[in-house]
Amino acid sequence: MQEKIMEILQSVRPDIDFAKEQALIDDGLLESFDVIQIMTTFMDEFDVYIDADDIEPENLNSFDAICAFLTQKIGS
C-alpha cells in the first residue's frame, strides 16, 4: 500500500520529496487543490470515504502520517 500511496503523491506533485518533508501542510508545500487531488485519488484507489474534517495537518504533514491516516481509515 505504501508504494501505491507514494505513487499517487508523486503523480500529483512530482517536485516534492515526500520521503523527506515533514511539514507538507504547515509549510504550505501542498496547496488545497493538491490535497483535493490526493484525497479523491485515495478514495478511488482504496475505496474509502474521506471527510472534510479528516483534512488536518497532523494527518497530512508527512508521508508516514498519510500512511497512518489511510491505514486507520481503511480499518475503520
Which residue among 33, 47, 75, 76 contacts another protein (CB under 8 A)? 33
- Kindly indicate which of the ranges 1-9, 49-57, 58-66, 67-75 contains the residues binding another protein, using the contact rule CB under 8 A: 49-57
CB of 24 to another protein, least distance (A): 13
Tell the burial category of 13 from Cβ atoms under 10 Å away from its Cβ (0-12, 13-18, 19+): middle
Q: Is residue 24 a contact point for another protein (CB under 8 A)?
A: no
Say if CB 66 and CB 34 are below 8 A apart: no
55 binds another protein (CB under 8 A): yes
Find how far residue 51's CA is from the centre of its chain: 13
